[in-house]
Structure 1
Amino acid sequence: MREFLVNGLKEIGVEYTEKKVDNLLKYLTLLQEYNSHTNLTAVRDEKSMIEKHFLDSLLLQNLLDDSMKTAIDVGTGAGFPGMVLAIFNENIKFTLMDSIGKKTKFLQLVKDELNLENVEVVTSRAEDYISDEKRESYDLGLCRGVSKLSTILEYIIPFLKKDGVFLSQKMEGTGEETEAQNALEILNSEIIKIFNFELPFCKDPRVVIKIEKREKTDKKYPRRSGIPLKRPL
């Protein structure tokens, strides 16, 4: 699997070290073992896990910059993209959040096994976790989610500092960026650029929407649990 992974990294133009590759392969082993008894991902083939989870996450790598010191991944699941990016960016402190305990238990295992001092694992919903301490405290927001962009924005943007960046990973052709205009205005944010990528081997298309926060967010956002999903902005 090492050769397949390294070839994939080269195809998407991501620099790597042997230690980072080793850690990804350990992560892969842990994911396969855990997934055999606890359902974390429907993807079970080794090569597909590498391409559709690891390499997919690393499509963001070249969009990061030196100003990013703190990051939050909301609804991280089995750690995508946050855990993968944490392995490749030891200088960034990552908060990996998910509301499902079996997933955060796995993330804690990965953190411990790989000795990732730059990772904090949180079992919570975004609207419950946010506080005066956490509000507007992150440079980077991440979410590789299935919820609509207008909903995800309400979860992510309140955590970001002014001028913070949200990199939203979506499938191709959803048109969600148009639907999200009202949410962007309410949350004082705007789409800066839309990147179109493809996975290196299966060629599946991927879209990354880069969003910047322009001003502070009204403290009434995010609304209480369940409301952003039922009534998107």
Structure 2
Amino acid sequence: MYSLRASPRVICTAGAPRDSFVMLSLYHRSRDCAPGNRVKLSWEDLPGLFPSFANPERWLPLLQRHATLVEQAAKHTRVTSVTGANVVRRQYAESLELLRITRCFTDACEPYADVGTGGGYPGLVVAILIPAAPVTLVEPLQKRARLLETMAAELELVNVRVLAERAEDAGRGALRGSCALVTARAVAELRELLEYTAPLARTGGWLALPKGSGAEAEVEEAARALGELNCVHRATVPMRPEVSDSGMVVMVEKVGPGLEKYPRRAGLPGKRPL
């Protein structure tokens, strides 16, 4: 492994796409973006932060509508702990940043799955930004799954389907080995999370897993899981400071078919992580 000189916090392994290095070299922290000096993001800031996402006149109102639906649902269903002024940054800017980073590694985003999607972060955000991509949201809680179906219908997202089941079960069903990209946000530590996500990815597919400042330590602890699941850690990429103080995205490539014994039965990955 080696660090990019332009950004010491970016850790890459041999095999990471060369084009990704162009993007990674853009990460520079300024005093204005240091912890404690962060400026709150508004909806109007998002198109400027993400100019590569075309047609903001289409996707921005949909994101705002989604936020309204989540706020309304919070009266009877717990879908997120992030509220108030932090919503735009933590839920939407970070989801968009995750998608931006994945584009430096793979153009393919279909089919795509989000595991433990909760209120739709980042799964519904990706579905809004890429309406041509078939999106599967894996959510084990029945109440949340029904809410996701309702929100997708309200937003007229015909590219979304919801699987109301555990990731371990999804990894043994029709979704197994079919996805070009799999994400999972705030679900589990990496060595456990890999067993939930890797079986869903096809050979050559990618896992994009948001983590905090302890991402590099989690990658080291996940060495056995990576090997068992036929995956290679390609890069750990920091989100831009305009978006997050400490957010990182662990990029993992699935380099071959997974063993039939994974995922193990429901509950085992959490009790006995690889």
**TM-score normalised by length of structure 2:** 0.79
After the TM superposition, which residues 78-157 of structure 1 pair with which residues of structure 2 at under 5 Å, given as runs? 78-131=119-172, 133-157=174-198
Higher mean C-alpha displacement, 8-17 vs 186-195: 8-17
- Work out the CA distance in 1 between the residues paired with 2:79 and 2:162: 16
1:185-206 CA-to-partner distances (Å, cap 9, x unmatched) read 11111111110114536x4221
- Work out the CA distance in 2 between the residues paired with 1:118 and 1:126: 20
Match of 1:97, as an amino acid?
Answer: V
Q: Which residue of 2 aligns with 1:224?
A: 265
Q: Is 2:45 the counterpart of 1:7? A: yes
- List 4+ stretches of structure 1 deviating above 4 A: none
Match of 2:91, as an amino acid?
Answer: H
Counterpart contact for 1:55–1:199, Cα < 8 Å: no
Match of 2:242, as an amino acid?
Answer: P
Unaligned runs of 5+ in 1: none
Counterpart contact for 1:9–1:55, Cα < 8 Å: no
Q: Which residue of 2 aligns with 1:57?
A: 95
Change in CA separation of 1:177 and 1:9 when aligned onto 2, cut-off 3 Å? farther
Number of aligned positions between the proteins: 229
Match of 2:62, as an amino acid?
Answer: N
1:39-72 CA-to-partner distances (Å, cap 9, x unmatched) read 2112221x31111111111112222343221011
Counterpart contact for 2:172–2:263, Cα < 8 Å: no
**TM-score normalised by length of structure 1:** 0.92
Alignment RMSD: 1.7
Which structure has the larger Rg?
2
SS at match of 2:202: strand
- Work out the CA distance in 1 between the residues paired with 2:109 and 2:189: 25
- Work out the CA distance in 1 between the residues paired with 2:50 and 2:60: 15
1:199-222 CA-to-partner distances (Å, cap 9, x unmatched) read 536x42210011000110011100
Higher mean C-alpha displacement, 101-110 vs 75-84: 101-110
SS at match of 1:73: strand
Q: Which residue of 1 aligns with 2:113?
A: 72
Aligned-pair identity in percent equals 31
